[in-house]
Structure 1
Amino acid sequence: MTELVSIPDITLAAVDAALQAGVVSIGNFDGVHLGHASLLGQTRQLADRLGGPAIACLFDPHPIAILRPELAPKRLTSVEERARRMTKLGIDFLVVCQTSPDLLNLSPERFFDALVRDTLKCRGVVEGENFCFGKDRRGDVEVLRTLCRNQGIEFHIAEMESVGGAMISSTRIRDLLAEGNVREAAAMMATPHRICGVVAHGDRRGRTLGFPTANLEQIDVVIPAGGVYAGFASVGTTRHPAAIHIGESPTFQSGDPTKVEVHLIDFSGDLYEQTVSVELIDRVRGVVRFESVEAIADQLRKDIQSAQQLLALP
């Protein structure tokens, strides 16, 4: 299991010896997509060769949230979800450094000395070819290569990964989700996009129609474009097939674009105040306005059948 380690200030950090003398890769790792997987796989391989732990390091909150908060992207995955996905990649530690104005003002050389040389005492570093670091992103991979060479640290550049000719990036995945294309987004992440929320009281309209839904709130990751999706909903350790409606309800002139309602196909019971995690497998249709309640109920039956087919359920 990848262990989460928090560092409030990299210039003052004193860490356990278990985190030192290994190989690090620094990045955001949002979504832990196939590009990240390749990068972290090479980090694991170099750590095995040199000895010591394989470490991923990220900064939270995202630096843009401090520098240009109005441009800060909604994250694809929580830090905890990133650590969970990194476990499968053989990463020993996910180091989470607290982002601050002081940290963002460090020169590339001071940043490198504080984190890579002094705190983690790295033997190796693996980064992507577009990696930048330090104040105003003045450090690039060539600066990093020189700094590593001067300290006797082995440095490797990992090549960019692509799927179907399209370069893999967290930005590209966000764009796909904004289009409702959860299937292609999942192909780039090698796992379905997951949203997690707490079940709150809604207007009970789904129950009236014969299709009760769990209304999710407190969602802190990207919510895809409005529409109906096929997926799976997990409550505790139990996983259920589900039809998920995202967005407003134009027929009733209610709701908002980020509203998430989950119908668990094979479940009945009270879920209020419980946490539900939803994996989005494919999109069934977009948001539609209906002329009557009967038309809605008829379409919901068809949506559930379509979801079952997409999920390969009987």
Structure 2
Amino acid sequence: MKPSVATGTRWFVPGPGPDETLWSVVGRAAAFYDTHANALWAGLHGEELDTSGTPDHPSAAALQRVGRALGVSAASLRDHLLDTGPRWLNREARRAFCPACWMEDHAAGRPFGYRRTWARVFATRCTMHNQPLQYAHALEGADTDWVTALVLSHQSEGRAATRRPSGSDGELLDWIDGLARALDDVYFNASPWPSIWLLDRFTAEQRLLESCRGQPVGSDALSIDRVMVPPTLRRFVHTRCALVAAMKTPRWDDLQSLADPGARRAAIWLLGWQLLPDLPERYCPLWPPDP
């Protein structure tokens, strides 16, 4: 079944769920019609495609067409948009998810939606459930059978409420995710740079980007492939899965393209060890600790 290209196109899929991005909605609709999201978007806007923007940041006319396609008001879609800018992961990298959120979607009979709050560069934890975000192997709107099987597995094992490890490793994970929130605040919420931090803003940014490289070029730079992860944290901290080629000049876009929240968590942990004074030795991500 293929939707028409007419302005009266109707997508027979549910509208956005809680905090769901419009790219996620378009991806769901594309999966329903067995096509690609870009093709569905082009079909909706026809000759107006060049001036329609993207689902993240559509024009006013495009938002009206999306509302008609979903059978909802355009005004109700505004809170589901994403601003352009460095705060957000690139679209293809938005694969972080919260198991508890998807279990709620399943219980409510909603499609599994990718939330806006999961799409931030520094997002490592769900703001609704305080659960560590995990990496989804499916793109937005794709492979819902895989997602359903994952959620049912979590339900049967009672895992959603016990994702955080206990003891000192749980405290370390909380500290890493807390630092991620602090970095989001200072970079994107105009919070002041903490005076106790040992690096200035520019140096911290360079160290963060360099850490995603397999072979950092700076004498003080460290790569996340040197991070030693305790066994209980290996579900949440990943170190060898998405390193940037060493010959490239590090760019913020590299961080925006890092889909796995576990890899971003490793980079933030490594930066935090260099950034904050007087940390306990058990917080050191390197083994053995550097002198």
TM-score with structure 1 setting the length: 0.25
Structure having the higher strand fraction is 1
TM-score with structure 2 setting the length: 0.27
The structure with the larger Rg is 1
